[in-house]
A = this chain, B = another copy of it.
Amino acid sequence: MTTPELDLTVSRVIKAPRSEVWKAWTDPASFEQWWVPAPEICRVLDMDLRPGGSFRTEFSHDDVEFRPQITGCFLAVDELERIVFTDALIGGWRPAETPFVTAVITMMDHPEGTEYTATAMHRDIADRDRHEELGFHDGWGTVTRQLAELVESQARDRTDTERTP
């Protein structure tokens, strides 16, 4: 389904089970901690995790003024496996003002934990190139690292707690 010349992908092995990665994605309070590159701040307005459900986030430099980030719609939500959303539609599948991307997030078992992959699908090469110039790899790479660090530190904390007598 993905087409190399139209798509951009980041992938990373996260040293934690899929259930932990899934939770960090689908719990809005966790999601806000990693979804935008620090020190920017993310706020989740809608995370209605079902096909047709609204997905809206905003971001801020100063925690005072927030600007829209994603205004989109979930297309597929497969527990522990896959999340697909697009900004070509808004909640309820209505066509959006400024369509640009469909994102496919997959989580797969890996010997060291979870292989997390985020693919951005574009309508044409021009949009793909624009996304790359806008800093796709830096941006999506950074937030994927933030996701990994959050989930891995939680996994470590839990292990430490379990070891404490």
Contact = CB atoms under 8 A, between A and B. Distances in A.
Copies of this chain: 2
A93 interface: yes
Contact of A95 (B1, B76, B94, B101): B101
A101 B123 CA distance: 17
A140 B85 CA distance: 29
Given A88-B88, A88-B89, A89-B88, A97 B124 contact: yes
Interface residues of A, number: 26
A96 interface: yes
Contacts of A6: 94
A164 B124 CA distance: 59
B100 A123 contact: no
Interface string A101-133: 110100000000000000001111001000000
Interface of A: 1, 6, 51-52, 75-76, 84, 86, 88-89, 92-97, 99-102, 104, 121-124, 127
